[in-house]
């Protein structure tokens, strides 16, 4: 069955919309579907702590809005744990940047379907829908043009670069859509490359990727596409989001260092419990050497055989 056309804004199908979003997901987290669990803190980044599929920032206040929406949902698995921290997020408290236990909690939240749904709806409302409106007002109608506008809404400074481009080549009605978009990509690349914030210099790859799509005449974002070495296709768009675990449940298996490494919800919740107990661990849902070391330290502290293996009884104690 053919995709239905979205009734408002540019003529862009749901598949083209998901493709545009996938391109920006790749820019933000390196994954076609994004990383709902990604927590990032880059030196000199004014956004400070960033989180989620579209890397919303503490510094902008958007991270607080996202977490407030999540905590308002009565089905939010970690709502009771996050709710007391919301005033800190609202105040953009400096301590949040280095709070490793909190970062692990945010990673674990991505396993909650409520968080993933909250992120999707929040990012649509905060970035995608404004981008569609902005493209419509300007007269940009092709899916690739919309993707570029969307990227600028996520990355920032859309209006400034829009106005610079209009000053350089006129409006879309004067220059034509493709000429205007190419001029915008050039203006934005030059701006990123020379910005006073050196952290932006390395993000010129975003405009280089768009320029390549322009050079290949991919204005319709027809699938499959390759962007930054990643395949965007019907298959990759239908895959499970990476780094999110819906199972197995805690206590359904013994956990230990194996080949291949054990991954899953049970691993993540054990890691979160170890983090809460003060162990230096990253709650990534993968039972690797770091997890085994922490488990051995726990076993030493409890006078248990030091195996690095979690039996069902110990898992049950950790994940009540």
145-183, pLDDT tens digit by residue?
Answer: 999 999 999 999 999 999 999 999 999 999 999 999 999
Q: Is residue 250 part of a domain?
A: no
| Distance from the Cα of residue 245 to its chain's centroid | 16
CA distance linking residue 25 with residue 18, whole number of Å: 10
Q: Is residue 256 part of a domain?
A: no
Query: Same structural domain for residues 167 and 282?
Result: no
Q: Is residue 128 part of a domain?
A: yes
Query: Same structural domain for residues 137 and 266?
Result: no
Tell me the per-residue pLDDT of 86-128, one tens digit each, with 9 for 90 and over. Answer: 999 999 999 999 999 999 999 999 999 999 999 999 999 999 9
By CB atoms closer than 10 A (0-12, 13-18, 19+), residue 288 is: middle
Query: Same structural domain for residues 68 and 192?
Result: yes
Q: Is residue 54 part of a domain?
A: yes
Region for 251 from its dihedrals, namely left if φ exceeds 0, alpha if ψ lies in -120 to 50, beta otherwise: left
Q: What is the pTM of this model?
A: 0.90
Tell me the per-residue pLDDT of 237-282, one tens digit each, with 9 for 90 and over. Answer: 999 999 999 999 999 999 999 999 999 999 999 999 999 999 999 9
Query: Same structural domain for residues 84 and 226?
Result: yes
Q: Is residue 151 part of a domain?
A: yes
CA distance linking residue 249 with residue 271, whole number of Å: 14
Tell me the per-residue pLDDT of 63-78, one tens digit each, with 9 for 90 and over. Answer: 999 999 999 999 999 9
Q: Is residue 50 part of a domain?
A: yes
Query: Same structural domain for residues 26 and 147?
Result: yes
Is the bond preceding residue 203 a cis peptide, omega within 30 degrees? no
Q: Which domain holds residue 311?
A: 262-318
The CATH number of residue 211's host domain is: 1.20.141.10
Tell me the per-residue pLDDT of 190-238, one tens digit each, with 9 for 90 and over. Answer: 999 999 999 999 999 999 999 999 999 999 999 999 999 999 999 999 9
Query: Same structural domain for residues 131 and 64?
Result: yes
Tokens representing residue 99 in the block:
């709070």
Q: Is residue 257 part of a domain?
A: no
String of b and e for 218-227 (b: at least 16 CB within 10 Å)? Answer: bbebebebeb
Q: Is residue 45 part of a domain?
A: yes
Q: Structurally, how many domains does the chain consist of?
A: 2
């Amino acid at each position: 069955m053919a995709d239905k056309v979205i009734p408002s804004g540019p003529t862009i199908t749901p598949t083209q919309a998901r493709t545009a979003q996938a391109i920006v997901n790749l820019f933000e987290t390196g994954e076609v579907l994004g990383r709902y669990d990604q927590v990032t803190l880059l030196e000199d980044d004014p956004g400070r702590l960033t989180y989620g599929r579209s890397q919303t920032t503490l510094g902008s206040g958007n991270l607080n809005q996202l977490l407030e929406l999540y905590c308002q949902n009565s089905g939010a698995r970690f709502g009771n744990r996050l709710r007391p921290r919301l005033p800190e997020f609202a105040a953009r408290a400096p301590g949040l940047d280095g709070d490793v236990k909190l970062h692990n909690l945010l990673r674990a939240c991505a396993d909650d379907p409520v968080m993933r749904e909250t992120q999707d709806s929040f990012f649509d409302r905060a970035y995608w829908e404004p981008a569609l409106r902005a493209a419509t007002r300007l007269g940009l109608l092709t899916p690739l043009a919309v993707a570029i506008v969307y990227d600028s809404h996520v990355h920032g400074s859309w209006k400034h670069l829009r106005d610079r481009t209009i000053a350089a080549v006129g409006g879309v009605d004067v220059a034509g859509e493709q000429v205007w978009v190419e001029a915008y990509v050039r203006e934005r690349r030059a701006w990123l490359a020379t910005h006073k914030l050196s952290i932006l210099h390395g993000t010129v790859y975003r405009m280089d990727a768009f320029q390549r799509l322009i050079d290949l005449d991919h204005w319709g974002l027809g699938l499959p596409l390759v962007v930054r070495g990643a395949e965007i296709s019907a298959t990759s768009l239908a895959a499970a989001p990476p780094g999110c675990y819906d199972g197995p449940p805690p206590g359904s298996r013994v956990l230990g260092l194996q080949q291949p490494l054990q991954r899953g919800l049970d691993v993540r919740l054990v890691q979160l419990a170890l983090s809460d107990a003060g162990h230096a661990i990253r709650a990534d849902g993968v039972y690797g050497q770091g997890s085994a070391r922490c488990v051995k330290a726990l076993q030493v502290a409890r006078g248990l055989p030091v195996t690095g293996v979690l039996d069902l009884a110990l898992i049950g104690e950790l994940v009540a």
